[in-house]
Amino acid sequence: MKRAIGKVIFLVIILLLAGCDTQETGTMVCLGDSLTEGYGASKPFEADKSNSYPAFLKKKVKLTVVNAGISGDTAAGGLARVDKDVLASNPQVVIILLGANDLFKLRPASDTKRDLQAIINKVKNKERKIYLASFIGDDAWEASYLETLQIIPPGITALLADYKKIFDELHSENTDIGYIANIWKGIGKNQMSDPIHPNSEGYNIMADNILAAIKPYLVENNLLN
């Protein structure tokens, strides 16, 4: 009888240890705007966090993933809520995806860079991994984006060039953080809800693009499902 009980206890311990490998071990916060909140994921002009890129990312990592996206937010707005929406969760990983609305509002790129740098500075510590993601894609994305923005005053093309430059600068000036260069890879018209927001399929592809960039860190720290 004692031997049988001992075997049961041994099996329970083995099962518990096996289950530990899939448990969430820390927190990832995704700070952003509509591209993070999941705007257009299920229905045009509506946000759906359950089909956002953080929701798809959550299925692939051993981390609690917090969607801190607010549609329409700017880099300044993200900076204003860092304490409440990021640091309060004491995250192990932070992904910053902001700047698109700054461009829409024709905000000087230098101001946006200043706010993004301030977010990085505020979030950074030795135990935390930070990734800055650019909302700007490749040349095909750029042509489509500029076509969408043709109703905005003529300086938008030059302003987009300025934004590309500040993301390159932030990347080169912050060598201790990760950089996600193209969240749009593989997302075409069939994966878009409107000209500037993905649908659910598109957000899933976006999650894969982000995962590819952060995978080395996740593998090194046994955080990948």
pLDDT digits (tens, 9 = 90+) for 53-65: 999 999 999 999 9
Q: Specify the pTM.
A: 0.88
Mean of pLDDT over the chain: 89
Inside any domain, residue 52: yes
Residue 200 in contact with residue 40, Cβ under 8 Å?
no
Calculate mean pLDDT across residues 33-41. Answer: 98
pLDDT band at 23 (very low <50, low <70, confident <90, very high): low
The token duo for 62 is: 């051993």
| Residues 143-181 pLDDT 10s | 887 777 665 566 788 899 999 999 999 999 999 999 999
Would you say how long the chain is, in residues?
A: 225
Helical (H) or strand (E) element with 194: strand 192-194
Instruction: Determine the pLDDT at residue 21.
Output: 44
| Residues 171-220 pLDDT 10s | 999 999 999 999 999 999 899 999 899 999 999 999 999 999 999 999 99
Structural domain range at position 152: 24-220
- In this structure, what CATH number is given to the domain that contains residue 77? 3.40.50.1110
Inside any domain, residue 225: no
User: CB count, 10 Å around CB of 188?
Assistant: 12
Inside any domain, residue 1: no
Inside any domain, residue 165: yes
Inside any domain, residue 65: yes
Half-sphere CA count of 194, side-chain side, radius 13 A:
16
Task: Compute CA distances 146 → 99, 107, 125, whole Å.
Answer: 15, 16, 37
Q: Structurally, how many domains does the chain consist of? A: 1
Percentage of the chain modeled with pLDDT above 70? 87
Inside any domain, residue 10: no
Helical (H) or strand (E) element with 68: strand 64-69
Residue 101 three-state SS: helix
Inside any domain, residue 15: no
pLDDT band at 13 (very low <50, low <70, confident <90, very high): very low
Inside any domain, residue 93: yes
